[in-house]
């Protein structure tokens, strides 16, 4: 015997609920294969499930849409921070600046290499260090680092920070909408099971094939096992 397969995705759940709602609205109660109380559950729950699915989809799309702009701003901030540190190191190599200038920026005096700038936290940390360090140098009336200046670095860094915070907000919105959808998913499953159980019980007296065909009109889904598919294919045509 084929087995009944309940929806295992939100799209399939929504389809099953809509199918039950549509047929429940079209048929009079005495012809409906499930109860009016169950129909009322479908009718009252369906809008909230659709809304939760729509909000989750929109939150995800917003996050993806803005991610391209965010990555562009992140790349620029990383580039300017990297260039600023390279300029400091090259000036020290040429003898234009003493090694202890690195201490202003939180770098080791004897380390002539770029710090890791792979993670967002690295960009935040080194952006803060460079801005703070150059402010200290300015307070001591030392010659400013140029090409790029710290003012240009600050602009790129602050643009990144704004985009970073906004992207985190979008991520939180998406996670919150996912949690809200997950919170009502069990309710959707319970309602679908109620509908499907009542439909199968309504057509229980029919032969198996007629029972399945009638139930499928209500959205019920049946799956044949592999051996059952092979048996059906090997059976002679009833009309021959």
Q: What is the pLDDT of residues 203-212, one digit of tens each?
A: 999 999 999 9
> Tell me, what DSSP letter sits at residue 140?
T
Supply the pLDDT for residue 83. Answer: 97
Distance CA 209, CA 216 (A): 11
Residue 240 has pLDDT above 50, yes or no: no
Residue 95 has pLDDT above 90, yes or no: yes
Residue 1 has pLDDT above 80, yes or no: no
Half-sphere exposure of 185 (CA within 13 A, CB side): 16
Q: What is the mean pLDDT of the chain?
A: 93
pLDDT digit string, tens, across residues 9-45 = 999 999 999 999 999 999 999 999 999 999 999 999 9
Mean pLDDT, residues 115-135? 96
Supply the pLDDT for residue 227. Answer: 63
**3-state SS class at 235:** coil
Considering only CA atoms, which of 170, 200, 199, 195 is closest in space to residue 56? 170
∠ CA 167-170-174, rounded to 5°: 140
Mean pLDDT, residues 35-64? 96
Considering only CA atoms, which of 166, 159, 95, 90 is closest in space to residue 127? 159
**3-state SS class at 15:** helix
Residue 230 has pLDDT above 90, yes or no: no
Residue 238 has pLDDT above 50, yes or no: no
Distance CA 108, CA 102 (A): 6
Global pTM value: 0.77
Residue 140 has pLDDT above 50, yes or no: yes
């Amino acid at each position: 015997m084929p087995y009944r397969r309940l929806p295992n995705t939100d799209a399939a759940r929504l389809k099953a609920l809509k199918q039950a709602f549509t047929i429940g609205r079209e048929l009079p109660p005495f012809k409906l294969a499930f109860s009016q109380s169950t129909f009322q559950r479908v009718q009252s729950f369906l809008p909230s499930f659709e809304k939760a699915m729509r909000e989750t989809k929109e939150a995800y799309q917003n996050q993806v849409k803005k991610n391209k702009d965010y990555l562009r701003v992140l790349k620029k901030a990383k580039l300017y921070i990297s260039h600023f540190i390279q300029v400091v190191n090259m000036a020290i190599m040429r003898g234009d600046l003493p090694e202890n200038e690195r201490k202003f920026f939180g770098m080791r005096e004897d380390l002539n290499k770029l710090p890791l700038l792979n993670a967002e936290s690295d960009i935040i940390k080194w952006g803060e260090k460079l801005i703070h360090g150059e402010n200290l140098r300015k307070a001591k009336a030392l010659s400013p680092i140029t090409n790029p200046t710290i003012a240009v670095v600050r602009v790129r860094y602050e643009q990144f920070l704004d985009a970073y915070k906004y992207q985190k907000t979008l991520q939180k919105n998406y996670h919150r909408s996912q949690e809200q959808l997950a919170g009502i998913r069990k309710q959707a499953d319970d309602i679908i099971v109620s509908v499907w159980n009542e439909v199968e019980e309504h057509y229980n007296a029919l032969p198996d094939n007629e029972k399945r065909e009638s139930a499928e009109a209500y959205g019920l889904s049946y799956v044949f096992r592999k051996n059952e598919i092979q048996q059906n294919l090997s059976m002679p045509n009833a009309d021959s």
